[in-house]
Each structure stands twice: as structure tokens, then as C-alpha cells.
Amino acid sequence: MGMTIAEKIIAAHAGMETVRTGEIVRVTVDVALANDITAPIAIQEFRKADRPALAHPDRVVFVLDHFTPTKDIASANQCKFVRDFALEHGMKHFYEGGEAGVEHALLPEKGLVLPGDLVIGADSHTCTYGALGAFATGVGSTDLAAAMLTGQAWMKVPPSLKFEFTGELRPHVGGKDLILHVIGLIGVDGSLYKVMEFTGDTISRLCMADRMSMCNMAIEAGGKAGIIAPDAVTEEYVSKRASRPYRVFASDDDAAYERVVSVDSASIEPLVAFPHLPENVRPAREAGHVRIDQVVIGSCTNGRIEDLRVAAGFLKGNKVARGVRCLVLPATPEVYRQALKEGLLDIFIEAGAIIGPPTCGPCLGGHMGILARGEKAIATTNRNFVGRMGDPSSEVYLSGPAVAAASAVTGVITDPGEVKG
């Protein structure tokens, strides 16, 4: 029997010909990632081992993105702790200040993650990199410390689910809507410790930004990883960024899947996930009259240049509704620069939006957009748990950039087809 793409990558990194679901294997790690929240714990554990150096300094990446620019004394001290370690060990891949961006947008952009890689990150949305054909998964900070010490990790081989998307997308529907549809279908625990493999002619037509949005939110269904086999779109994206060799894997025709789910992409509308779970999905046109106080366009899910272009299409010539705060956070400095070059930032400013620096910021209730008591926000972020963006009585609704931008114009959750872009 053949293997899935995930099994092939794990086997290659375990030095084995084949692996099967449930096996526990030791794998080499191509990239080990942490941020300003999770790196300090990993550093503390690393120092307990009394080792003089990182096993593979070029494979460890630290990005200060969650609470930066630092919002208070505690976050400043946290970032200083990480910075001091990075400088002490001469880390090549340490990003802060004007070099930093939201980690899961920054690493692919810089060519640090490539097809066939095995990546672990002390952040649950590390699964984003599956869009490049890598096996990428989130781990705890202590597991990351072990990888910093040894360059390896232990892993239980997960089963795979295959999601076959076929058909042409409707207007204003993107990768975010596809993954919200799947999460609504299987629930937030529907892929618990499983790989979500996305295939089909719809996927083959998606740009990398949409693919990253889908793999990013595999964790919102409990997934161990999300993954898409590399194709011409992947190659076009990676070839101009890669600085080291990489290997392309694909699932065998006779690979074993725990479940195969067929999705008619043409039936999917622009969607919204209602509080307080990403599975509470309904079409934007059926949202009812939900008045919003804030719109957030950004994050590791939808802060790339393609997302900003979509949002600008609705805000151009329009104004953000009175009483609504619209925050636009380009995911990386390069995205910011490109948005400036294309005139998108002018469009946002003319519309009355607020442009912030590349940061996770409001996504996790960190800063630059905290919700007050009873406020409602629609956001292109990935989580809408109780208190996720501020006061526990606030509410977060999840959507793609089209719905978010259209809603910024009307002041209520709105199907993008109702707003002239």
C-alpha cells in the first residue's frame, strides 16, 4: 500500500522507507520556530541542559511578532530576553523591529520553509506551511527546546483525511471561505491529531495566499497539519525564494485515508463564523443585522498582499461606517511596501481605516485593537473564542477579507455582493 504526502515526508525525516499511522518515530527537523511568547520558555529549558550551542543554529527561527512593537514593560522584558539569547548565539534567523512580520507570513516569504520540509513551531498555526507541501505542526515550548538542543523531535504518525474540492468558485469566495466551510462541516474536533490534505481542481487554481489561509486553520478543526501537494503554483512561488535544495512529495494513488470528503466548491458562499467557535459557520447573507464596532484585516491567515487587494477593492471610493474602527495590518514589511507601491494604503486612509505595523496585535487580544465590554468585531483572523480579542463579553466574527471590508463600509456584517467595490 502507498503512502500519503505527510507519511512520505515523515518517513524521509525519520530515515525510514515507510511509516504507518500510529508509529512513534524520531525525525530530523528542518525548521524550529518560536515567537516572543513561546521562545522564552524554550530558552529557559534549553539553558537547563547546560549545552553551549544550538545543534543547528541555521534551522532555528525566532520572530518577535505577537506583542511587538512592545506594548508594556512586561512585553519589552520578554522580547529583550529573546533578543539577548539570539545575539548571544549569533542566530541568523532572528527577526524583530523593521525586519519582523507575522511569523507564518514571514517565513514562506523569505524562503525559510520549502516543499518537503519537516517544520515544528511553538505556535499552533505553524500548520500554515503545509501550503508549500511541507509537513508543519505546532508543538509546546519544551518540545521546541529539545529540537534546539538536538535538531530532532519525536512524533506519532497521524492518520490523514482527504478533502477533494471541485468546481469554480463564486465571486468573493476565497481560501478562507473554503476552510470555514470544512470546519463548519466536521467541527472543531473533526480532525483531531489528523492531517488535513486538500486536493482537487479548485485547489489547483488557488493562489499561495489562499492555500496558506486554508492550511493555517487546519488547527481550528483540531488538525495536526494541513497540507497541499506542490504544483506549478508552488514552484513559481518557491523558485524565486529558495536558497537551499528541496524535495517535492505527493501522495500515492493507493495511499490510505481515514476518510475522504468531497466538496462542491461552487456551492460555497462568502461565509462568517459566529462566536464563539470557528465551526459556527453561516453565509454572510444570512448573518442578520449584526452591528459591528471593529474590523480587523490582517493576521497570519489573511494579511498578505492578495488579501489587502481584495479589501481595497471594497473600500476604494467608500468610507468606513461611522462608529466603526477598521484596522489594516499588513503581515510583513514586504507586504506593507507592496501595498504602498500599489496605492492600497492611500485607499485605506481615504476610506478612514487605520493602518498599523506588521504584528499579530489584536488577533490574540495583545494590543492595537482590544475590544471593550460588549463590542463586536469582524476579523480576518483565525479564532473567535471567548475573550480572544478583548473583554470576555465582546464577540469576534471570522471572515475573509471581502466580507470584512464590505462590513466596514456598511457597519453591519454584510455579504460582499451588496457593496459596490
Encode the chain (421 residues) as per-residue pLDDT tens digits: 799 999 999 999 999 999 999 999 999 999 999 999 999 999 999 999 987 899 999 999 999 999 989 989 999 999 999 999 999 999 999 999 999 999 999 999 999 999 999 999 999 999 999 999 999 999 999 999 999 999 999 999 999 999 999 999 999 999 999 999 999 999 999 999 999 999 999 999 999 999 999 999 999 999 999 999 999 999 999 999 998 999 999 999 999 999 999 999 999 999 999 999 999 999 999 999 999 999 999 999 999 999 999 999 999 999 999 999 999 999 999 999 999 999 999 999 999 999 999 999 998 888 999 999 999 999 999 999 988 999 999 999 999 999 999 999 999 999 999 987 5
Spacing of C-alpha 312 from chain mean position: 21
- Report residue 80 as a C-alpha cell: 529583550
Cα gap 218→59, rounded to integer Å:
24
Third-level CATH fold of 5-263 = Aconitase; domain 3 (3.30.499)
Predicted local confidence at residue 379, as pLDDT: 97
- Say what the alpha-carbon torsion angle 241, 243, 244, 245 is, to the nearest 10 degrees: 40
- Report residue 120 as a C-alpha cell: 515544528
- Report residue 220 as a C-alpha cell: 481550528
Q: Which residue has the cell 476579523?
A: 379
Neighbouring CB atoms inside 10 A of 245's CB total: 7
Give the type of residue at 291: R
- Residue 100: phi, psi to the nearest 5? -85, 155
Predicted local confidence at residue 221, as pLDDT: 96
Q: Could you tell me which residues are beta bridge partners of residue 264? A: 166
Parallel, antiparallel or unpaired: strands 281-283 and 271-273: antiparallel
Predicted local confidence at residue 421, as pLDDT: 59
Of the candidates 26, 84, 93, which has an alpha carbon nearest to the alpha carbon of residue 60? 93
Strands (DSSP E) found in 115-171:
118-121, 135-138, 152-156, 160-166
Domain with CATH 3.30.499.10 in the chain: 5-263, 271-418
Q: Could you tell me which residues are beta bridge partners of residue 31? A: 119
In three-state secondary structure terms, 13 is helix
CATH of the domain spanning 271-418: 3.30.499.10
Predicted local confidence at residue 364, as pLDDT: 87
Angle in degrees, 0-180, between the axes of helices 333-341 and 344-351, rounded to the nearest 10: 80
